[in-house]
Amino acid sequence: MTAPFAPISEAELNAYVDGLLPEARAGEVEAFLAQHPDKAAEIAHWRRQNEALTALFPPAGEPLPERLQPRLLARRPRGVTLGWAQMAAAIMLVLAIGGAAGWMLRALDRPPESESLIALAVNAHALYVRENRHAVEVAAADRDHLVSWLSNRVERPITPPDLAPEGFELIGGRLLPGDHEAGVTGPAAQLMYQNAANDRVTVYITAALPAGQRAYQFETRGSLDAFYWANDRITCTVVGSLPEAEMQAVARKIYTQLTWRPDGVQSWGT
């Protein structure tokens, strides 16, 4: 008769995902996961999440301390936040290490609106990317009107990112309603891009959350990947179903362009 497994802690699962668990214990974890497909799927998601975030925003220079590693921040239970002193220290540390590492603060304080915004962005993407004649309300050929219209309605300057180096051209955009029940009161702008293979990516933008919270998140919903961030100016969700490396390259380019203000100041760093 096989001896029962010793209880497997969350810390051990973290260590297993990172390849830090002793071989014997790793074998027990693997056997446990083989008997628990739901937990195995969750672990697979952790791995993919880590890989996506590391590829998009690798830490610059020295490594982050253990308590700020993305694998742990990404799994912090919802509703768990850091005190102001801890938050300030974490922000100062990450800014000192390098701007790109700001992504790793993604789960320090995840606003409840984030989940709603991701869901709205994914649903809008799934609805409109199937359209041909009505994929957008205003075509890219009327770019000046598109930019001024969406910027005025969202009440934030919206400059469509340039994705030409990634092989994508702007098709156009549309205005979408908010969702009061989900806490998203203002309208949203959706920009749509397409490449030569007719693959489409959408960028879903709203004004900043009520308190200007910062949040960073990666989600896979069905066949779609969603890269979400919020700062003191906007929230943005990039949605698509591209091959992983291509999706990461597109999301990183959009993040880089939309997190810089026209005056050259990074909006998440002010």
Among the three residues 53, 76, 105, which one is the final residue of a domain in this structure? 105
Closest by CA to 188, choosing from 144, 141, 230, 219, is 230
Which positions ≥6 away from 172 have C-beta within 8 Å? 135, 136, 137, 138, 139, 140, 141, 142, 146, 191, 192
Any domain includes 33: yes
Could you tell me what percent of the chain has a pLDDT over 70?
70
C-alpha 242/C-alpha 223 separation (Å) is 9
* Number of neighbouring beta carbons within 10 Å of residue 27: 11
Any domain includes 62: yes
Out of 18-32, 36-50, 77-91, 179-193, pick the least confident: 77-91
Q: Structural domain of residue 95, as residue ranges? A: 10-105
Are residue 128 and residue 226 in the same domain, yes or no? yes
Are residue 164 and residue 200 in the same domain, yes or no? yes
Closest by CA to 133, choosing from 170, 172, 190, is 172
Are residue 123 and residue 101 in the same domain, yes or no? no
Closest by CA to 200, choosing from 227, 240, 246, is 240
Question: Structure tokens of 133?
Answer: 């004649």
| Residue showing tokens 């509703």 | 79
Are residue 153 and residue 218 in the same domain, yes or no? yes
Any domain includes 3: no
Are residue 98 and residue 117 in the same domain, yes or no? no
> What's the whole-number mean pLDDT along residues 225-251?
91
Are residue 28 and residue 57 in the same domain, yes or no? yes
pLDDT given for residue 96 in this prediction: 42
Any domain includes 4: no
Instruction: State the virtual CA torsion across 201, 229, 244, 14 in degrees, nearest 10.
Output: -160
Cα 154 from chain centroid?
Answer: 20
pLDDT given for residue 4 in this prediction: 61
Any domain includes 5: no
* Number of neighbouring beta carbons within 10 Å of residue 152: 11
pLDDT given for residue 166 in this prediction: 94
Any domain includes 2: no
Question: Structure tokens of 246?
Answer: 């291509």
How many domains is the chain partitioned into structurally? 2
pLDDT grade for 98, boundaries at 50, 70 and 90: very low
pLDDT given for residue 49 in this prediction: 65
Are residue 85 and residue 121 in the same domain, yes or no? no
pLDDT given for residue 159 in this prediction: 92
Q: Who wins on pLDDT, 143 or 97?
A: 143
Are residue 119 and residue 252 in the same domain, yes or no? yes
Enter the pTM of the model.
0.66
Question: Structure tokens of 21?
Answer: 């668990």
C-alpha 118/C-alpha 137 separation (Å) is 21
pLDDT grade for 36, boundaries at 50, 70 and 90: confident
